[in-house]
């Protein structure tokens, strides 16, 4: 317990890290105890692993059903702030005054605005595996973690940008349009492309697709055919593209050159509100797209159409106007243009510079292609040589072929390895009969009057040159002559140098215009340049990129904005790393477009590549891996009604002051791929336990239908393989994961419920059914469900190819090998520290243990290595839900003890205006009908429902909202209440489970009592279930509204009653747990009375010597007793027992019989910590033979110095058998402890342990291993064949069958030590006094086995320690603190407010029959002896209504659900429509 | 690329076709193989189970020779590879054993030359290079890649590929244009050294492997181990007709190299009819 300097008050706030069941429990406990809580989770919603579970053992409760109330409580609690998507970066300061730095990832969806309508997911084109469903099924990039998620809002997963997108020089969002293509959204995809690229159908054909070079899909098979998809998109979308032309307005900008760079710049400027005019030297616009690329690759009408679309944007194009010939730059400025963009292109062919180049018959390629493109058909002769190896050379060669040249030869100076043309170009040229003459250079063209031949020389390759390609070196003497009719020179292109020279601009040494590559600015202010005229000949997308950049730059220049971002494409750093998994992702063949027949190709200019089919296009798009997840296509933004989406959201850093931190980040599951012999990730029908859990779940990807992944068939034979990633030193998972035996049993049972007749086999090492009620569950699994348990280790899993069944090979207990075939194999995955553990531990300054879990001293549960930082749940050790919940409350208790002086200093209180008195006023009902985006509105005719509602009696106002729950609608509703003096409110929307509280609070804020509200659920009950029948759904919605209005008219204000309480506690039992609970309560500032029946405190602790971990129990006992004695708030009553009690929650008066007679104690709460005892069954001679001892007795003998040479231990002596069927949980650990104790004292001793299953769960497994390593012999026995014990004089003989040897063995021990288990004390008396239930085994029965492990169903009574069930000392100590903090949740309140909607009794009708008393599960009913009628203890009543149903005379009624209200609803439902 | 080549005993005898096809393929891919001068037995057949000292010393001697030659050592036989690779890792990681072996073999271990299987060599060559060299893709040939037990184990020594579901051979065959069958018996034991002493057991194991390959839809097995080929061809029930090929033979076919017909004749189960029916050989 930390001691603060007097004047320093700690901070009354706590941060809980991790929002699973553990974090939620800690948060709720602390908030109830008067502290402000920050509940931080990395995920976009709290809920943790439990939210993913289907059912829970051993009660088979639905996990979500029992957990969701806690989700809702956390979400609504005024003192809990949920911070999602956040990680802890640093915890600084001292206990009580810590400063936590958080980094919160952007959510991209504003929590306050999102109404969770889900419209965004319907338009999101990105499908990614749903990790919540263990990768089964898929979700969208914008998603809600699960349907009940808290906060109930969507989030976008965005991991940077995809590589394809960043690769595009033009800044086209390739990932986005591929994703939209996948969804068949052709128009949307087309629009997205056109944002950055006005020429999608051009680029879809001729782009050099740098995006495909970066595609991570190549790591699996081949890149996505992005360019081909783009072409298909234009094919589908362009026809519907006609739109109203934009009228140019704004400042004029001149653009010189109507090629891709110029037109792109013009289009972008027009969209930004400028008036661009494009001047083009040629008679047609389009630049190289129009006059460079041949028709067969790019039909000219497509260019024309896309140029026309640019004009529609508001761009004016003037052709046949050349810069330097018809006008100058100065002229442009004189004409009033505000800026000039030069995009002249490179339309002049480079020359070879060899003799004869001016002979007729030697054609430069660019003019040749231009003339053909403009319609001329030159005669070339039969033999054509094309000099060069770029795409232009291919174009020239293939064009020549189409013009009738029979023999076309490409002469290239290097080899095909160095050629720059695209591979498909070369391949298609080859198909068309073009020949390639490699490693040859022309020396001269010769002929008389006209070209006749080319003299050439052969080359060899030398060292690489500046371009990285090997330099061609002429081979002396290898000259030869090529006879040709025409030669086309395609060795490069440039801008006319004469034109450039006259511009008066600075040029580069390559003769291009010098322009800044970011600002595109030339040496003259206001003049910008881009495209080939700056870069030299380059690719189409590069030119488009320059056009985009120039538009940004010109805009920034004209606005005088020096800080505007000029980036056309996402920064390289934002590119995600590849997550492609070549082993796991199924391969899929990349689509190859079909080509036109070669015969037709060479005889015409028809387009060569044919279009895809829709199926091919969608299948190709589906190959995309969605590397960045969100593709930023902005579809969600367009449909979001409340405008909640902000793609510009950024990381936020928050610094928070807290007094303490609780770490509960949970756990991860073992990656089963590490155990390669089971084939997980390779065999489809081998699934993980979490995948199987999600398959079973009704809310899972298959709606609870269990099927085999390979073929969708129901499995008939299912195998569970246990300890995958547990008890396995080879993969670094030495410990036992504690939960897998039971969850596998549960999954087997539930699977059987889904598929009757299913045969399940569990392959296990030890079945560790050690928890409360677990052994019954395990027994029922075998007896009632026929689940087979096979004790063995499975060595391999093989897959049969004929049916994808799996063959397990294993060694049976008797040593024989078995092989068995199954339809499905489930791997029971062990628990690992969360992936975030190291980062979190470093930030929080706590130590991790050798496995990577948080270090926490066993006897100081909840503590970490750093004071003020606590730990709970599986982050400390793998554990089940009840232990996790106990841990969470224990950690909360520790924080509450530490911060006790600051209790209530940071809590919030909501201030409301005074309540309006509506008594006696006629009802004035307001009805608000919700569209819920399109959830309701697309099915139900909402206006007609509003119209109908407005005519209902009592209704004075009816209105519709797109989202009634959005902030602006709520404000409007409050306004309407004022304007129209509404005194009853009906909302017709969704379920009261999620929204009733919000609406009630809203009308309270308008001054109305919150119970003057009624909700009609027209979504779940109408639009969702009748979505295919609009008429009927609308009619039903009207009925529901009519019923709600009928009830609303009769609603009356209800006030929750306030009760004062006694702020002290009674603890019964002075053992470890009783003392720990008392100290925690006192440490939190509350008076405690502790009653102990013995003359001394300590209970069982007085007999224990040490723990398995070696801690000294005596020292713990001394510390506890000393603390008890010295604490001023604790009064101890020794040799005392509870006689009777009266009163209930908050106000008890209990009579105690002590050594000095009876006394009465007043207190507000009760904690039962009455302990349990070591069992003593007479089996195996206990009590009859002096050498037969219990474990406790043996421990005392060892402590006293006795060192027996040989010891035999028999486990489960009297346990797990009829008579005492439960497992006592601790005996295996105790036996291991004492065996190791003896081995430590006397290493030469022999210890033989006869056991049924060794249940050293969690980290206790380490000691079991250690015991075996130290030579302790463990012999397994079956209950049908127990060890036999004989006595011969003073000696003992133990004989048993050793299943490993297959023979009987005989041990003659000095001591026979029996693990006799834990038996409850006589709890019957106290269970009568406090009216609390017992289990069939005689332990106290808590409110709920899973989630309420320290309290009884009736409020105000708590339990802990062995009285709850067998457990280890550390577990008792944790549970004691847990019980204490739950009690403080009540004690900390100045007054307790009962629920509003509680039962009441009409005393005149009551006959005091007592049926309601029996019906009430909360002890809220009693017969008042004075009045002779039933009474309601309103503080205890939970408003369940059971008493109302039970009452035969109609005397019981539930407020808010009165008979006349219900009858009015029925009448309204049955009434003819008005 | 130059490597020392350790043929071991079988490549000069029962696995002659493996030796020849390995040389043909490597030379076609521009990989130079120089037979290790004065190489000796690796100890795979019996030394490793009968004499602990010899089990280490025999491979260590050959590693010493390779070290002297100065090139990485390529070992086509899976059993030799396993012995040499394990000894190499002992030399690298166990200082005590290293001292012993160094003394016995009179050398100082430097760890400068790596022991590589042929599959690892192909990995170094690169799949794209192999793919480029393919002139007659093995279209229509359905293969069950069979690694046997030695090539990928123990996983601690042979890092990289999944020890139960390796892919290296699958990828090479895919690069050569073959269809690779998915099956889960690719690393099961064929009986290896028990072939003579316990032929009955081996027959059971071999039949199981062949049954499973047939179920997987394979028309042939492809492997990289002489012992496996011997067992799979010799110790099978009469009902089985599946040919077993060295992957180098199939690469040679895909690369259009000479001499394949002569290699096929050395098989106990002639693969020629199958390959001819698919038009892969003339």
- pLDDT at A211 > cutoff 90: yes
Task: List the single best residue of B156, B184, B189 to mutate versus A (max A Cβ within 10 A).
Answer: B184
Residues of B within 8 A of A797 (CB-CB) are 184
pLDDT band at A463 (very low <50, low <70, confident <90, very high): confident
Distance CA A679, CA A945 (A): 57
For residue A1473, what pLDDT is reported? 59
Predicted confidence (pLDDT) per residue in A1271-1280, tens digit: 999 999 999 9
A1043-1068: b (≥16 Cβ within 10 Å) or e? bbbbbbbbbebbebeebebbbbbbbb
CA–CA dist A1234, A1236 (Å, integer): 5
- Cβ pair A903, A31 in contact under 8 A: no
Task: Give me the pLDDT at residue A239, please.
Answer: 65
User: Which residues have a Cβ under 8 Å from the Cβ of A917 and sit 6 or more positions away?
Assistant: none
Does the pLDDT value for residue A2 go beyond 50? Answer: no
Is residue A69 predicted with pLDDT exceeding 90?
no
* Percent of all residues in chain A with a pLDDT value above 70, rounded to a whole number: 99
- Helix (H/G/I), strand (E/B), else coil: A1234: helix
Residue A802 with chain B: CB contacts under 8 Å: 215
B142 pairs with which residues across the strands? B179
Contacts of B155 in chain A (CB under 8 A): 676
CA distance readout (Å), B204 to A693, A794, B231, B239? 39, 21, 11, 13
Give the global pTM.
Answer: 0.89
> Residue A172: phi, psi to the nearest 5?
-80, 135
Which of A583, A683, A802 lies nearest to residue B184, judging by beta carbons? Answer: A683
Contact predicate B125/B27, CB 8 Å: no
Residue carrying structure tokens 């007054």: A1391
Q: What is the mean pLDDT of residues A326-352?
A: 95
pLDDT single digits (tens) A354-403: 999 999 999 999 999 999 999 889 989 899 999 999 989 999 999 999 99
In terms of CA atoms, which chain A residue is nearest residue B155?
A: A676
Burial tier of B262 (Cβ tally within 10 Å: 0-12, 13-18, 19+): exposed
Cα–Cα distance for residue pair A1383/A1167, rounded to 1 Å = 8
Band of residue A7 on the pLDDT scale cut at 50, 70, 90: low
- The mean of the pLDDT values for chain A is 93
B215 and A677 within 8 Å at the Cβ level: the answer is no
User: Which chain A residues touch B182 with a CB distance below 8 Å?
Assistant: 801
- Measured in whole angstroms, the distance separating CA A850 from the mean position of its chain's CA atoms is 28
What are φ and ψ of residue A1196, in 5° steps? -65, -40
User: Which of chain B's residues have a Cβ under 8 Å away from the Cβ of A676?
Assistant: 155, 162-165
Q: Which of A132-146, A237-251, A452-466, A1345-1359 has the lowest mean pLDDT?
A: A237-251
ipTM of predicted complex: 0.94
- Partner-chain contact B217 A801, CB within 8 Å: yes
Averaged pLDDT, A747-754? 95
pLDDT digits (tens, 9 = 90+) for A86-142: 999 999 999 999 999 999 999 999 999 998 889 999 999 999 999 999 999 899 999
- pLDDT for A492-506, tens place per residue? 899 999 999 999 999
Radius of gyration of chain B (CA): 18
pLDDT computed for residue A410 by the predictor: 95
Write phi, then psi, for A441 (nearest 5 degrees).
Answer: -125, 140
Per the DSSP assignment, residues forming a β-bridge with A657 are: A99
pLDDT tier, A1109 (very low <50, low <70, confident <90, very high otherwise): very high
Region for residue A933 given its phi and psi (left: phi exceeds 0; alpha: psi -120 to 50; beta: otherwise): left
Give residue-wise pLDDT tens across range B101-120.
999 999 999 999 999 999 99
Q: What is the pLDDT of residue B128?
A: 85
- Residue A1300 pLDDT more than 90? no
Spatial separation of the C-alpha atoms in residues B256 and A1089, rounded to whole Å = 95
The CB density around residue A522, as the number of other CB atoms within 10 Å, is 25
Residues of B with CB below 8 A from A679's CB?
164-165, 184
pLDDT band at A241; cut points 50, 70, 90: low
Probe site for chain A from B165, B186, B189, B204 (most A CB atoms < 10 A): B165
Q: What is the pLDDT of residue A14?
A: 98
* A-B C-beta contacts closer than 8 Å: 32
Mean pLDDT of A994-1004: 88
The pLDDT score that the predictor gives to residue A1223 is 97
Instruction: Kindly tell me if the per-residue pLDDT of B6 is higher than 80.
Output: yes
Residue A1290: band (very low, low, confident or very high) from pLDDT cuts 50, 70, 90: confident
Q: Does A583 sit within 8 Å of B167, measured CB to CB?
A: yes
- Neighbour count for residue A586 (Cβ, 10 Å): 7
Q: What is the pLDDT of residues A273-283, one digit of tens each?
A: 999 999 999 99
Chain length of chain A: 1474
Residue range A1244-1251: mean pLDDT, rounded: 97
Predicted pLDDT of residue A1: 43
Q: Which of A583, A682, A798 sits opposite B185 (nearest CB)?
A: A798
Structure confidence by residue, pLDDT tens digits, A532-574: 999 998 999 999 999 999 999 999 999 998 888 899 999 989 9
Please answer yes or no on whether B216 and A682 come within 8 Å at the CB atom.
no
Interface test with B, best of A676, A679, A685, A710 (most B CBs within 10 A): A676
Strand, coil or helix: what is A950?
A: helix
Which residue, among A227, A145, A172, A118, has the nearest Cα to A632 in the 3D structure? A172
B229 touches A: beta carbon within 8 Å: no
- Span A11-25, average pLDDT: 98
Q: Cα–Cα distance between A1421 and A1413 in angstroms, integer?
A: 5
């Amino acid at each position: 317990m930390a001691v603060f300097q007097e004047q320093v008050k700690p901070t009354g706030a706590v941060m809980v890290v991790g929002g699973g069941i553990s974090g939620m429990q800690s948060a709720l406990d602390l908030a109830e105890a008067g502290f402000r809580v920050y509940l931080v989770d990395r995920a976009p919603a709290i809920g943790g692993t439990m939210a993913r579970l289907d059912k829970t053992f051993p009660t088979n409760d639905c996990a979500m059903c029992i957990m969701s109330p806690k989700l809702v409580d956390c979400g609504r609690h005024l003192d809990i702030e949920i911070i999602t998507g956040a990680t802890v970066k640093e915890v600084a300061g001292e206990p009580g005054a810590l400063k936590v730095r958080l980094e919160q990832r952007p959510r991209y969806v504003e929590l306050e605005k999102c109404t969770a309508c889900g419209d965004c997911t319907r338009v999101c084109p990105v499908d990614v595996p749903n990790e919540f469903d263990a990768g089964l099924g898929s979700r969208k990039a914008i998603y809600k973690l699960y349907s009940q998620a808290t906060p109930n809002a969507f989030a976008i997963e965005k991991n940077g940008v995809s590589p394809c997108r960043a690769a595009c020089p033009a800044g086209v969002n390739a990932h986005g349009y591929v994703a939209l293509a996948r969804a068949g959204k052709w128009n949307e995809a087309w629009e997205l492309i056109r944002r950055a690229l006005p020429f999608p159908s051009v680029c879809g054909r001729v782009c050099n697709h740098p995006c495909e070079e970066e595609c991570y899909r190549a790591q699996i098979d081949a890149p996505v055919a992005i360019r081909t998809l783009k072409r298909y998109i234009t094919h589908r979308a362009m026809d519907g593209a006609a739109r109203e032309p934009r009228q140019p307005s704004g400042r004029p900008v001149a653009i010189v050159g109507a090629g891709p760079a110029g037109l792109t710049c013009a289009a972008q400027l027009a969209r930004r509100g400028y008036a661009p005019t494009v001047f083009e030297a040629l008679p047609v616009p389009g630049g190289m797209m129009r006059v460079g690329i041949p028709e067969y690759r790019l039909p000219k009408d497509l260019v024309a159409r896309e140029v026309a679309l640019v004009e529609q944007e508001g761009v004016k194009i003037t052709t046949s106007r050349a810069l330097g010939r018809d006008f100058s730059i100065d002229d442009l400025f004189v004409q009033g243009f505000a800026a000039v963009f030069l995009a002249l292109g490179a339309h002049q062919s480079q020359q070879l510079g060899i003799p004869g180049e001016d002979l007729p018959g030697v054609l430069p390629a660019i003019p040749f292609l231009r003339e053909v493109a403009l319609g001329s058909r030159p005669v070339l002769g039969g033999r054509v040589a094309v000099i060069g190896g770029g795409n232009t050379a291919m174009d020239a060669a293939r064009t020549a072929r189409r013009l009738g040249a029979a023999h076309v030869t490409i002469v290239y100076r290097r080899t095909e390895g160095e050629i720059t043309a695209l591979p498909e170009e070369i391949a298609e040229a080859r198909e068309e009969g073009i020949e390639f003459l490699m490693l040859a250079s022309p020396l001269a063209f010769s002929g008389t009057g006209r070209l006749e031949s080319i003299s050439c020389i052969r080359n060899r390759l030398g060292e690489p040159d500046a371009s990285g390609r090997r330099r061609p070196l002429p081979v002396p003497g290898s000259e030869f002559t090529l006879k040709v009719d025409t030669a086309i020179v395609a060795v490069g292109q440039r801008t006319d140098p004469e034109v450039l020279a006259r511009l008066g601009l600075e040029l580069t040494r390559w003769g291009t215009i010098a322009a800044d590559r970011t600002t595109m600015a030339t040496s003259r202010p206001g003049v910008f340049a881009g495209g080939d005229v700056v870069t030299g000949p380059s690719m189409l997308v590069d030119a488009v990129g320059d056009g985009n950049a120039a538009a940004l730059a010109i805009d920034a220049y004209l606005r005088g904005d020096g800080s505007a971002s000029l980036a056309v494409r996402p920064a390289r750093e934002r590119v995600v790393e590849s997550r492609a998994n070549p082993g796991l992702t199924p391969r899929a063949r990349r689509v190859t477009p079909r080509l036109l027949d070669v015969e037709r190709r060479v005889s015409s200019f028809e387009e060569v590549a044919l279009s895809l089919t829709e199926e091919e296009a969608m299948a190709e798009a589906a190959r995309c891996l969605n590397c960045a997840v969100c593709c930023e296509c902005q579809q969600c933004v367009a449909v979001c009604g409340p405008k909640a989406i902000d793609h510009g959201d950024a990381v936020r850093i928050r610094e928070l002051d807290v007094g303490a931190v609780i770490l509960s980040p949970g756990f991860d599951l073992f990656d089963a791929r590490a155990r390669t012999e089971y084939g997980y990730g390779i065999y489809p029908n081998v699934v993980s336990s979490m995948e199987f859990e999600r398959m079973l779940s009704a809310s899972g990807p298959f709606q609870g239908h269990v099927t085999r992944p390979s073929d969708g068939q129901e499995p008939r034979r299912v195998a569970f393989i246990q300890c995958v990633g547990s008890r396995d030193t080879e993969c670094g998972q030495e410990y036992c994961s504690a939960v897998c035996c039971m969850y596998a049993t549960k999954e087997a049972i539930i699977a059987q419920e889904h598929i009757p007749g299913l045969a399940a086999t569990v392959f296990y090492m030890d079945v560790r059914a050690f928890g409360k009620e677990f052994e019954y569950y395990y027994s029922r699994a075998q007896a009632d469900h026929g689940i087979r348990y096979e004790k063995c280790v499975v060595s391999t899993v093989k897959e049969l190819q004929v049916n994808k069944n799996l063959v397990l090979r294993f060694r049976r207990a008797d040593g024989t090998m078995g092989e068995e075939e199954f339809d499905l194999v489930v791997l029971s995955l062990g628990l690992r520290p969360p992936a975030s553990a190291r980062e979190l531990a470093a930030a929080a300054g706590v130590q991790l243990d050798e496995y990577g879990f948080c270090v926490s001293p066993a006897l100081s549960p909840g503590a970490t290595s750093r004071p003020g930082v606590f730990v709970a749940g599986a982050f400390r050790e793998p554990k089940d839900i009840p232990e996790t919940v106990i841990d969470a409350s224990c950690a909360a208790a520790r924080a509450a003890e530490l911060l006790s002086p600051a209790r209530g200093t940071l809590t919030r209180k909501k201030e409301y205006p005074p309540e309006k008195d509506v008594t006696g006023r006629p009802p004035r009902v307001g009805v608000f009908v919700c569209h819920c985006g399109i959830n309701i509105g697309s099915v139900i005719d909402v206006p007609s429902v509003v119209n109908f509602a407005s005519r209902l009696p009592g209704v004075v106002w009816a209105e519709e909202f797109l989202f009634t729950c959005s902030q602006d609608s709520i404000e409007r509703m409050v306004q309407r209440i004022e304007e129209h003096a509404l005194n009853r409110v009906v909302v017709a929307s969704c379920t009261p489970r999620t929204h009733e509280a919000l609406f009630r609070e809203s009308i309270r804020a308008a001054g109305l009592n919150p119970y003057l509200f009624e909700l009609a659920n027209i979504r779940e009950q109408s639009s969702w279930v009748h979505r295919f029948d609009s008429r009927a759904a609308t009619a039903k919605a009207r009925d529901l509204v009519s019923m709600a209005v009928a009830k609303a008219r009769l609603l009356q204000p209800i006030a929750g009653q306030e009760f004062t309480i006694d702020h002290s506690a009674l603890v019964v039992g002075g053992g470890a747990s009783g003392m720990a609970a008392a100290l925690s309560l006192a440490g939190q500032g509350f008076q405690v009375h502790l009653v102990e029946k013995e003359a001394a405190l300590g209970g069982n602790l007085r007999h224990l010597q040490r723990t398995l971990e070696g801690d000294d129990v005596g020292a713990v006992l001394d510390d506890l007793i000393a603390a008890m004695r010295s604490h001023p708030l604790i009064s101890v009553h020794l040799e005392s027992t509870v006689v009777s009690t009266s009163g209930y929650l908050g106000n008890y008066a209990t009579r105690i019989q002590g050594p000095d007679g009876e006394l009465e104690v007043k207190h507000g709460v009760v904690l039962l910590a009455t302990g349990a005892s070591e069992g003593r069954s007479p089996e195996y001679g206990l009590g009859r033979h002096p050498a037969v001892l219990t474990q406790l007795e043996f421990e005392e003998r060892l402590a006293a110095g006795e060192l027996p040479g040989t010891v035999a231990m028999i486990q489960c002596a009297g346990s797990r058998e009829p008579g005492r069927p439960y497992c006592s949980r601790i005996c295996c650990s105790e036996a291991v402890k004492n065996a190791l104790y003896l081995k430590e004292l006397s290493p030469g001793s022999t210890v033989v342990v006869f056991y049924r299953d060794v249940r050293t769960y969690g980290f206790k497994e380490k000691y079991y291993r250690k015991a075996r390593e130290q030579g302790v012999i463990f012999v397994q026995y079956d209950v049908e064949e127990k060890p036999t014990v004989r006595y011969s004089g003073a000696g003992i003989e133990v004989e048993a069958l050793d299943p490993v040897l297959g023979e009987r063995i005989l041990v003659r021990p000095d001591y026979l030590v029996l693990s006799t288990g834990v038996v409850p004390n006589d709890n019957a008396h106290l269970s009568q006094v406090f009216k609390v239930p017992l289990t069939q085994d005689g332990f106290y029965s808590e409110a709920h086995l899973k989630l309420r492990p320290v309290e009884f169903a009736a409020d105000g009574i708590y339990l802990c320690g062995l009285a709850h069930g067998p457990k280890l000392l550390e577990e008792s100590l944790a549970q004691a603190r847990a019980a204490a903090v739950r009690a403080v949740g009540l004690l900390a309140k100045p007054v307790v407010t009962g629920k509003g909607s509680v039962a009441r009794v009409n005393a005149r009708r009551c006959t005091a029959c007592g049926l309601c008393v029996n019906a009430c599960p909360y002890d809220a009913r009693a017969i008042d002896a004075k009045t002779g009628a039933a009474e309601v203890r309103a503080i205890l009543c939970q408003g369940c209504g059971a008493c109302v149903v039970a009452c035969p005379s109609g005397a019981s009624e539930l407020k808010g659900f009165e008979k006349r209200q219900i009858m009015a609803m029925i009448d309204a439902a049955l009434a003819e429509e008005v | 690329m130059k490597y020392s080549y350790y043929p071991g005993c079988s490549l000069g005898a029962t696995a002659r076709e493996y030796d020849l096809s390995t040389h043909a393929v490597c030379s076609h891919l521009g990989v130079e193989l120089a037979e290790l001068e004065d190489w000796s037995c690796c100890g795979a057949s019996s030394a490793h189970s009968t004499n602990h000292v010899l089990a280490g010393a025999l491979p260590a001697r050959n590693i010493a020779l390779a070290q002297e030659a100065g090139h990485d050592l390529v070992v086509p036989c899976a059993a030799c590879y396993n012995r040499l690779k394990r000894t190499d890792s002992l030399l690298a990681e166990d200082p005590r054993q290293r001292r012993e072996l160094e003394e016995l073999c009179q050398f100082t271990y430097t760890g400068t030359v790596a022991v590589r299987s042929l599959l690892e060599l192909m990995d170094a060559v690169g799949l794209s290079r192999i793919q480029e060299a393919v002139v007659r893709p093995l279209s229509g040939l359905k293969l069950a890649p069979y690694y046997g037990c030695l090539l990928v184990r123990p996983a601690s020594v042979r890092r990289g590929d999944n020890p139960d579901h390796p892919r290296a051979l699958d990828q090479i065959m895919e690069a050569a244009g073959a269809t690779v069958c998915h099956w889960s018996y690719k690393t099961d034991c064929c009986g290896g050294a028990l072939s003579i002493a316990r032929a009955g057991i081996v027959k059971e194991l071999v039949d199981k492997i062949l049954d499973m390959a047939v179920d997987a839809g394979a028309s042939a097995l492809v492997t990289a181990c002489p012992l496996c080929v011997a067992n799979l061809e010799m110790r099978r029930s009469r009902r089985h007709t599946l040919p077993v090929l060295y992957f180098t033979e199939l690469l040679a076919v895909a690369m259009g190299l000479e001499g394949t017909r002569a290699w096929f004749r050395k098989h106990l189960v002639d693969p020629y009819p199958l390959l001819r029916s698919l038009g892969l050989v003339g």
